[in-house]
């Protein structure tokens, strides 16, 4: 393969995760949850020539991104507040740079052109309407005529994603029609008598779309009758069912209206990214921030778990010792109605605001002040409003840290079998603070050895991946030296990543637990320890089956270097840059790691 002068071979800090969950709220129709593997890279800045783009200095830090302006497609709610997608010159710049970066640096070296347009078009339509209950077939046909064969070219050359904006605007219109129809039908008791034999297909991902408004209403009616029957079988009263379903449809519509330009842009750019492979993603500002938090296992905020309920942001739980608890004022059940910055900032009304937007306002720099206006959960008068001043601080996310426990199992001979179990949900790493999972596991192993354990169980069943260097270091805790994983790039360059430290933290009996959720970095560790005969792997019939490496690039510095700066944070791009192979040379892609001992598992019957 001809060498690409715009590709870089600098040292990278890889992050590989096969599952990625948004920590606070969802930002898409179903969700903007990324499925997959990340690798942070540190590369040299070169430049931008023609259609070829190169990377800047990627970072995981993400600044706050403001609202976009100069909209051409927008909607307003009944209070005149802007909702929905708007176009922006900044978005156009991001779209062009991202498209060219995908073309230059993706492992497959796939041209980003209109050959991909049909695939991208179909994917975006299904992203907006995955259950095929909103768009009419005539809607899709009309958009297809205008955009199906040229949507990618428009994006790459002009930064144009008008098609995405128009599709979202029509989706919102169809959702409003459906909600209006549902609320009217709920006032007709005769529509909910169940005397005949009706059918409704719950999973409509492969179903045909309604051809016209009459077919759409028939579909909506059957769907509503199905939902009504589900509540009725749960012994709910008819009047309560009507209220529940009406609130459900109103809430769903409100969630769609809350999607803004950032959300639609992220969904659309991911339709392009996923056309290359399922683990390549565009991260908008909020998604990128959440990913960084998940890898650091910390954030700066107030230490409260929030949920959305009937338009209110409700405090579900308060972390012990957190800034929120130290106020001795707010508590679980309180409803946040306003957020203000600093000592004198004006309150922003957050009633009916999407949860992740509220979370963005509450998070902030360590030591900064945020003020909350709230309705006490135990207030007899709902008009009561109280205020609290909170100084933000670092919040640790201990739930993803490595943990150990001791199991003592009596044996027939009267002796007790002492087993140490280490649960590791994520291969985390925070270079700035020197925190890492390998260091934490090493300490836990030392403590277990002091407990005189007869064996150790390393539990990776919930581990979707994380830092590749950490996976290598953790493997090194159990072997002396040797290759751990091999990676191959688009130019067929092969690099062997080795454990070069002869020190061994634990050399006793070792069992490694895996499941279909064990992915990427987990598969590297499981595969290496299996190849060396160092551990007995026990679990589902196979692990997840991911064998690619991704790099996360911060688009901000890249765009600056290419004279395409934007006013707000442009987010990040995660793209596949390498394939990885086990120490033995075998691939885990689609195959996973097959354990020596297979346990019965529900996951083997599910699509994971």
Domain count within the chain = 3
The answer to whether residues 353 and 430 belong to one domain is no
Is residue 443 in some structural domain? yes
| 199 Cα distance to chain centroid | 34
- Give the residue numbers spanning the domain of 415: 398-605
User: Can you give the pLDDT at residue 399?
Assistant: 81
At 352 the pLDDT is 81
206 in a structural domain: yes
Residues 255, 349 share a domain: no
Kindly give the parts of the chain with pLDDT less than 70: 1-87, 605, 607-608
User: What is the rounded CA–CA span in Å between residue 402 and residue 132?
Assistant: 42
Q: Are residues 560 and 593 in the same domain?
A: yes
- End residue of a domain, out of 396, 415, 432: 396
The DSSP result for 134-160, as a single string, is SS-HHHHHHHHHHHTTTHHHHHHHH--
User: Which one-letter DSSP state was computed for residue 414?
Assistant: S
Instruction: Give the integer Cα–Cα distance in Å for 554 and 557.
Output: 7
Of 227, 252, 283, the residue that ends a domain is 283
333 and 437 within one domain:
no
- Tell me whether residue 15 is in a domain: no
pLDDT of residue 16: 54
264 and 105 in contact (C-beta within 8 Å)? no
List CB contacts of 389: < 8 A, sequence separation 6 or more: 327, 343, 369, 370, 371
pLDDT at residue number 52 = 29
Rounded Cα–Cα distance for residues 19 and 527 (Å): 19
**Which residues are known to be catalytic?**
520, 531, 546
The domain that holds 546 is classified in CATH as 3.90.226.10
- Helix or strand or coil: residue 190? helix
Number of Cβ within a 10 Å radius of residue 198: 11
Got the DSSP string for 67-128?
---S-SS-EE-TTS-EEB----HHHHHHHHHHHHHHHHH-TT----STTSHHHHHHHHHHHH
Asked whether residue 418 falls in the same domain as residue 381, the answer is no
Give bridge partners of residue 341 from the DSSP assignment. Answer: 370
Residue 511 lies in a domain: yes
Q: Are residues 305 and 420 in the same domain?
A: no
State whether residue 49 is helix, strand or coil: strand
Same-domain status, 445 and 333: no
Q: Note whether 211 and 225 are same-domain residues.
A: yes
* Half-sphere exposure at residue 435, Cβ-oriented, CA atoms within 13 angstroms: 14
Both 303 and 427 in one domain: the answer is: no
Q: What pLDDT was estimated at residue 608?
A: 59
**Separation of alpha carbons 318 and 331, rounded Å:** 7
- pTM of the predicted model over 0.85: no
Last residue of a domain, one of 370, 396, 422: 396
- Same-domain check for residues 365 and 485: no
Residue 219 lies in a domain: yes
Question: What's the confidence (pLDDT) of residue 262?
Answer: 87
Whether residue 30 is contained in a domain is answered as: no
123 in any annotated domain: yes
pLDDT score recorded for residue 289: 87
Residue 61 lies in a domain: no
Please indicate, yes or no, whether residues 377 and 403 belong to a single structural domain of this protein.
no
* Cβ-proximal residues to 289 (8 Å cutoff; 6+ apart), any chain: 62, 360, 363
If we measure between CA atoms, which residue out of 334, 326, 285, 329 comes closest to residue 303?
326
364 with 494, same domain: the answer is: no
């Amino acid at each position: 393969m001809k060498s690409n002068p715009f590709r870089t071979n600098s040292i990278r800090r890889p992050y590989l995760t096969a599952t990625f969950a948004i920590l606070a709220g969802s930002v898409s129709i179903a969700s903007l949850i990324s499925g997959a593997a990340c690798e942070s890279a540190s590369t040299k800045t070169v430049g931008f020539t023609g259609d070829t783009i190169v990377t800047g200095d990627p970072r995981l830090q993400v600044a706050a991104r403001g609202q976009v302006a100069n909209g051409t497609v927008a909607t307003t709610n009944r209070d005149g507040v802007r909702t929905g997608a708007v176009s922006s010159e900044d978005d156009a710049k991001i779209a062009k740079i991202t498209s060219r970066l995908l073309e230059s640096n993706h492992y497959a070296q796939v041209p980003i052109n209109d050959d991909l347009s049909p695939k991208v078009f179909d994917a975006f339509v299904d992203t907006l309407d995955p259950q095929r209950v909103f768009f009419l077939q005539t809607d899709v046909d009309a958009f297809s005529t205008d955009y199906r064969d040229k949507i990618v070219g428009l994006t790459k050359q002009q930064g144009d994603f008008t098609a995405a904006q128009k599709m979202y605007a029509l989706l919102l219109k169809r959702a409003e029609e459906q909600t209006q129809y549902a609320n009217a039908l709920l006032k007709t008791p005769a529509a909910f008598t169940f005397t005949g034999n009706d059918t409704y297909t719950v999973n409509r991902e492969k179903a045909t779309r309604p051809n016209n408004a009459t077919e759409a209403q028939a579909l909506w009616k059957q769907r509503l009758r199905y939902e009504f029957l589900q509540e009725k079988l749960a012994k709910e009263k008819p009047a309560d069912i009507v209220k529940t379903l009406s609130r459900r449809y109103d809430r769903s519509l409100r969630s769609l209206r809350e999607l803004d330009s950032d959300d639609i842009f992220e969904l659309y750019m991911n339709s392009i990214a996923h056309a290359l492979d399922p683990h390549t993603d565009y991260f908008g500002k909020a998604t990128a921030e959440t990913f960084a938090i998940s890898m650091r296992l910390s954030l700066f905020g107030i230490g409260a778990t929030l949920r959305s309920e009937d338009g209110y942001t409700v405090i579900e739980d308060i972390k012990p010792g957190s800034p929120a608890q130290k106020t001795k004022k707010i508590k679980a059940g309180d409803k946040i109605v306003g957020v203000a910055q600093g000592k004198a900032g004006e309150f922003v009304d957050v009633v009916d605001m999407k949860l992740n937007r509220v979370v963005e306002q509450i998070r902030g720099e360590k030591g900064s002040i945020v003020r909350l206006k709230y309705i006490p959960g135990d207030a007899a008068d709902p008009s009561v409003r109280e205020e609290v001043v909170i100084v933000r601080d670092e919040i640790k996310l201990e739930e993803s840290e490595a943990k150990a426990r001791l199991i003592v199992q009596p044996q027939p001979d009267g002796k007790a079998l002492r087993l140490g179990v280490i649960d590791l949900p994520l291969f985390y790493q925070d270079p700035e603070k020197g925190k890492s999972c390998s260091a934490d596991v090493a300490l836990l192993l030392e403590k277990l050895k002091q407990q005189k354990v007869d064996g150790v169980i390393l539990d990776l069943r919930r581990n979707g991946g994380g830092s590749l260097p950490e996976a290598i270091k953790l493997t090194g805790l159990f072997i002396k030296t040797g290759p751990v994983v091999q990676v191959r790039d688009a130019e067929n360059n092969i690099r062997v990543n080795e454990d070069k430290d002869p020190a061994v933290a634990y050399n006793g009996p070792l069992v490694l637990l895996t499941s279909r959720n064990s992915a990427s970095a987990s598969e590297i560790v499981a595969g290496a320890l299996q190849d060396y005969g160092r551990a007995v792997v026990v679990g589902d019939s196979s692990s997840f089956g991911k064998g690619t490496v991704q790099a996360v690039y911060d688009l901000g510095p890249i765009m600056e270097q290419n004279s395409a700066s934007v006013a707000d944070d442009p987010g990040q791009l995660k793209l596949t840059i390498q394939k990885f192979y086990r120490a033995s040379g075998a691939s885990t892609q689609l195959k996973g790691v097959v354990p020596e001992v297979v346990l019965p598992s529900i996951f083997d019957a599910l699509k994971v």
